[in-house]
Amino acid sequence: MGLTLAQALEAFEPGLPLGVAFSGGADSTALLWACARKWPGQVRALHVHHGLQAAADDFERHCRKFCEQLQVPLWVAHTDARPQPGQSPEDAARQARYQALAQLAAQAGVAHLALAQHADDQVETLMLALSRGAGLPGLSAMPAHWQRDGLNYYRPLLAVKGQALRDELQAQGLSWIEDPSNTDQRYTRNQIRAQLLPVLQTVFPQFRDTFARSARHAAQAQHLLQTLAAEDLVRTGQPPGLRELQALSRSRQANLLRAWLASLPGATPSSAQMEELLDQIAACTTRGHSIRIKVGSGHISRSGDTLAWYNTAL
C-alpha cells in the first residue's frame, strides 16, 4: 500500500537544523512543506541551479517565492553540471549536485540533509541496476540514510508513492514546477517511468512494496559481506598478502578484493577483470610468478608476497 506523506514524516527523526534539497518539483515541494510544518524555524531549503536548461532561472524564482510563503530560508548554489568526455549526463549532474549541496550545507550551518526520492524512484533505481547486471550494492538501490563528506543524508519518502505526494500537494493547494527533462525519453530512467512502471502496476499492483523489500534484503546481505571482508582484510593485510588470499575460497577472495579496491580511487574492477585477477591469484604458486592486470584507471601487480595497486591516471 505504501505510506502517506504524514506517516513517512512521523517516522522521520533527523538531527536539527535540517537542510532540504529543494528543486521546486512536486517531490521536494511536498518534503519541504511537510518538514517545515513539523519543525518550524528549524528547516533550511537548499536549491542547486544546474544551468542546464533555459528554465533554470524560472525554477529559482519559483523556489524563492515558495520559501517566502513558508517562511523558510533559502540558499542557492549555481553549478556547472555539464558532463566531461566519457561521463554520462546523469552522473555529471549527480556529482555536481552533491558538491553544491555540501557547499550550501556549510553556508546554512546544517549537517543533516533530506532528499525527496520516493518509492517510484527506488523502483527505477532497482530496474536500472538489474539491466546492468549489478551485484548486491546495486540491487540494494538507494539507502534511506548514509554519510558523505561529513554530512548525514536522508531519504524519508522511499515508501511513499510519487502520486501520493502530488495528491497531497493538490489537497493543500500548493503549486510546484514540472521539469521538462523528466519526460525526455532519451534517458533510460524516464523510459522506465513512462513505459515499464504502468505495466508493472497492471501486472503486480504491489510492486513498489515488494521491490523495496527485495532491495532491503540485498542491502542486509551486502552489509554482511562488508563485515566479512573487513574481518578478512585484518587477516590478509592491506594490500592483501597472496598466501593469505589463497587460503580463502574464490568467492571470499572476490569479496575481499572488492572491498580493498573500493577504498582506492579509480580502482573499481569490471566483472571480467575480477575473474581474470582471481585466475592469476590461483596460478601464482611460485616466487617468480608475476601478476599484472588492468583494473579501473590503473593496474594491479604482484609486489613480493602481496598485491599492489598503481593508479596510472595520476
pLDDT at 114: 98
Q: Tell me how far apart the alpha carbons of residues 291 and 299 are, in angstroms, rounded to a whole number.
A: 10
The answer to whether the beta carbons of residues 257 and 229 sit under 8 Å apart is no
Report pLDDT digits (tens) over 17-29.
Answer: 999 999 999 999 9
Q: Tell me how far apart the alpha carbons of residues 251 and 290 are, in angstroms, rounded to a whole number.
A: 22
CA angle centred on 313, ends 135 and 50, rounded to 5°: 70
CATH no., domain 237-310: 3.30.465
The string of DSSP codes covering the chain is ----HHHHHHT----SSEEEE--SSHHHHHHHHHHHHHSTTSEEEEEEE---STTHHHHHHHHHHHHHHHT--EEEEE---PPPTT--HHHHHHHHHHHHHHHHHHHHT-SEEE----HHHHHHHHHHHHHTT--HHHHT-S-SEEEETTEEEE-TTTTS-HHHHHHHHHHHT------GGGG-TTSHHHHIIIIIHHHHHHH-TTHHHHHHHHHHHHHHHHHHHHHHHHHHHHHHTTTTBHHHHHTS-HHHHHHHHHHHHHTSTT-PPPHHHHHHHHHHHHH--STT---EEEETTEEEEEETTEEEEE-TT-
The answer to whether the beta carbons of residues 75 and 45 sit under 8 Å apart is yes
- The dihedral of CA 50, 140, 45, 19: what is its sign? negative
Q: Tell me how far apart the alpha carbons of residues 170 and 163 are, in angstroms, rounded to a whole number.
A: 11
Q: Do domains 5-210 and 237-310 have the same CATH topology?
A: no
Joined grid coordinates for residue 59: 525554477
Percent of the chain with pLDDT over 90: 78
177-192: average pLDDT: 83
Q: Tell me how far apart the alpha carbons of residues 238 and 2 are, in angstroms, rounded to a whole number.
A: 44
Report pLDDT digits (tens) over 46-61.
Answer: 999 876 566 678 889 9
pLDDT at 88 over 90: no
CA distances (Å), origin 273, targets 249, 276, 277, 278, 307: 18, 5, 6, 9, 15
pLDDT at 79 over 90: no
pLDDT at 219: 94
pLDDT at 44: 98
Greatest extent of the chain over all pairs of C-alpha atoms, in Å: 74
Q: How far out from the chain centre does Cα 285 lie?
A: 40
Greater model confidence, 88 or 234: 234
The residues pairing with 153 across neighbouring beta strands, listed in sequence order, are 113, 146
pLDDT at 45: 98
pLDDT at 67: 98
Per-domain residue ranges for the chain? 5-210, 237-310
pTM of the model: 0.87
pLDDT band at 83 (very low <50, low <70, confident <90, very high): low
Average pLDDT for the chain: 92
149-176: average pLDDT: 96
Percent of the chain with pLDDT over 70: 94
131-147: average pLDDT: 93
pLDDT at 255 over 90: yes
Report pLDDT digits (tens) over 144-155.
Answer: 999 998 999 999
- Please state at what angle helix 207-236 crosses helix 119-131, rounded to 10 degrees: 60
Q: At the topology level of CATH, where does 5-210 sit?
A: Rossmann fold (3.40.50)
pLDDT at 186 over 60: yes
262-271: average pLDDT: 89
Q: Tell me how far apart the alpha carbons of residues 55 and 8 are, in angstroms, rounded to a whole number.
A: 31
Q: Tell me how far apart the alpha carbons of residues 135 and 129 are, in angstroms, rounded to a whole number.
A: 8
Q: Is 95 exposed, middle or buried (0-12, 13-18, 19+ CB in 10 A)?
A: middle
pLDDT at 115: 98
